[in-house]
């Protein structure tokens, strides 16, 4: 009898914990969205997302943040593509080719986990040091390379987790048809993992576009839209940062408008990648 009461209390308590933590997460998300919308929407105008800053923009005069929108898109797209080119072969390599050498594979995974944990400002500082060594100035290219470095571990490890779940029987089937390891990797494992790879790319893109610290010293900041890789580029997180640190309330509100723009970009990317990944999910073998 006593046991039953205890079990029931435990059940109620666990359920309470679940509801409690879920509601904290959901309300935090709602609060963030509501507060940036509340403060940002009134300042968000067509002018703001189609114009670059004019003289005195940061003192409340006319202009927009098109420089930062385009800069951020360039930077995040560039580093996501570059990161994918490096990460995909690495993830396939440690799962297919080197699967036999588990010590090496575990060591690579361990290294990647450490790299994942390093804060992005450290990547920024590292990128800055390298730039000085080569005599480079702040530029889009330097920003792309730095962001690429810090999203590679995220990409590789999340692709890795997906590829680990590829059934062994599928590998054996592909190999039995006479495919080499590389053919198995690129024609079978890659296809099977596409939904997960899309998620990994999205995650990396989101981190890339949202990061301020890695681009602060490397991509720099400018009022103009970069039209070459060696020009500095503005980014949305920095645009938010600079405007928010202004004492003028109007400019501060524009920072929230910029945050709305950033959130919408991430939303579009995540919805469209969901659609792509669902399309490929049908082909997956369970």
Partner 1 sequence: MINGTKIKVEHLNLHIGKEHILKDINLVIPEKQLTVILGPSGCGKTTLLKSFNRLTDLNPDVKISGHIFNGDEDILHPKTEITQLRKKMGLLSQSPYPLPMSIFDNITYGLKISGRRKKKFLIRRVENYLRQVSLWEEVKDRLKDPASALSIGQQQRLCLARGLAVDPEIILADEPTSALDPVSSKDIEEMFLKLKQRYTIVVVTHILRQARRIADYVIFMYLGEVIEHGPAEQIFEHPQHEMTKAYLKGAYN
Segment lying near partner 1 (by CB under 8 A), choices 81-89, 138-146, 180-188, 208-216: 180-188
Identify which of residues 99 and 121 has a Cβ nearer to partner 1 in the complex.
Answer: 99
Query: Which one of the spans 1-9, 187-195, 244-252, 255-263 is the region binding partner 1 (CB under 8 A)?
Result: 187-195
Q: In the structure encoding, which two tokens stand for residue 285, read together?
A: 């073998």
Q: By CB under 8 A, name the one of 62, 187, 230, 278 that touches partner 1.
A: 187
Shortest gap between Cβ of 180 and partner 1 (angstroms)? 6
Q: Does 4 bind partner 1 (CB under 8 A)?
A: no
Check binding of 135 to partner 1 (CB under 8 A): no
Question: Per-residue x/- mask for partner 1, residues 94 to 113, rule CB under 8 A?
Answer: -----xxxx-----------
Burial class (CB in 10 A: 0-12, 13-18, 19+), 278: exposed
Find the largest Cα–Cα distance for the chain: 78
CB of 179 to partner 1, least distance (A): 5
| DSSP, residue by residue, 51-87 | SPPPTTGGGT-S---HHHHHHHHHHHHHHHHHHHHHH
Q: Confirm if 224 and 60 have CB atoms less than 8 A apart.
A: no
Sequence-distant (≥ 6) Cβ neighbours of residue 273 within 8 angstroms: 198, 199, 201, 202
Q: Does 170 bind partner 1 (CB under 8 A)?
A: yes
What would the two tokens of residue 80 be? Answer: 């996501």
Judge whether 158 and 203 are in contact, CB under 8 Å.
yes
Quick one: tokens of 58? 């940061």
Compare residues 79 and 184 and give the one whose CB is closer to partner 1: 184
CB-wise, 9 or 102, nearer to partner 1?
102
Q: In angstroms, rounded to a whole number, what is the distance separating the alpha carbons of residues 74 and 144?
A: 8
Instruction: Give percent helix, percent strand, percent coil of the chain, each to the nearest 5.
Output: 80, 0, 20
Least gap, CB of 102 to partner 1 (angstroms): 6
The CA distance from 190 to 196, in Å, is 10
276 binds partner 1 (CB under 8 A): no
CA 249 from centre of chain = 30
Nearer to partner 1, 131 or 174 (CB): 174
C-alpha–C-alpha distance, residues 189 and 195, integer Å:
11
Contact flag: residue 174 with partner 1 (CB under 8 A):
yes
Give the residue with the Cβ less far from partner 1, 35 or 102.
102
Closest CB to partner 1 among residues 82, 194:
194
- Decide: 66 and 78 in contact? Cβ < 8 Å: no
CA dist 83 and 204 (Å) reads 9
Number of residues engaging partner 1 in binding (CB under 8 A): 28
Binding of partner 1 by 285 (CB under 8 A): yes
- Judged by CB under 8 A, which of 54, 137, 164, 283 binds partner 1? 283
Which of 67, 192, 235, 243 is in the footprint of partner 1 by CB under 8 A?
192
> Rule CB under 8 A: is residue 91 a binding residue for partner 1?
no
Binding region for partner 1 (CB under 8 A): 99-102, 167-180, 183, 187-188, 191-192, 282-286
């Amino acid at each position: 009898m006593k046991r039953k009461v205890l079990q029931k209390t435990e059940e109620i308590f666990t359920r309470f914990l679940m509801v409690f933590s879920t509601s904290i997460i959901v309300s935090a998300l709602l609060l963030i969205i509501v507060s940036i919308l509340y403060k940002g929407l009134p300042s968000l105008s067509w002018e703001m997302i189609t114009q670059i800053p004019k003289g005195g923009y940061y003192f409340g005069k006319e202009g927009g943040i098109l420089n930062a929108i385009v800069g951020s898109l360039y930077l995040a797209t560039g580093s996501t593509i570059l990161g994918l080119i490096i990460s995909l072969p690495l993830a396939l390599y440690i799962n297919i080719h080197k699967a036999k050498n588990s010590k090496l594979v575990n060591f690579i995974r361990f290294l990647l986990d450490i790299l994942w944990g390093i804060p992005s400002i450290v990547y920024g500082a590292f990128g800055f040091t390298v730039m000085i060594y080569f005599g480079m100035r702040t530029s889009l290219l330097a920003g792309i390379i730095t962001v690429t470095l810090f999203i590679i571990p995220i990409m590789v490890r999340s692709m890795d987790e997906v590829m680990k779940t590829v059934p062994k029987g599928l590998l054996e089937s592909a190999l039995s048809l006479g495919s080499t390891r590389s053919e198995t990797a690129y024609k079978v494992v890659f296809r099977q993992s596409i939904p997960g790879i899309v998620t990994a790319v999205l995650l990396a893109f989101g981190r890339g576009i949202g990061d301020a610290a890695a681009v602060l010293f490397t991509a720099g900041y400018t009022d103009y839209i970069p039209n070459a890789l060696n020009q500095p580029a503005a980014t949305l997180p920095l645009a938010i940062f600079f405007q928010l640190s202004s004492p003028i309330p109007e400019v501060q509100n524009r920072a929230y408008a910029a945050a709305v723009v950033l959130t919408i970009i991430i939303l579009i990317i995540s919805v469209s990648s969901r659609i792509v990944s669902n399309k490929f999910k049908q082909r997956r073998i369970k």
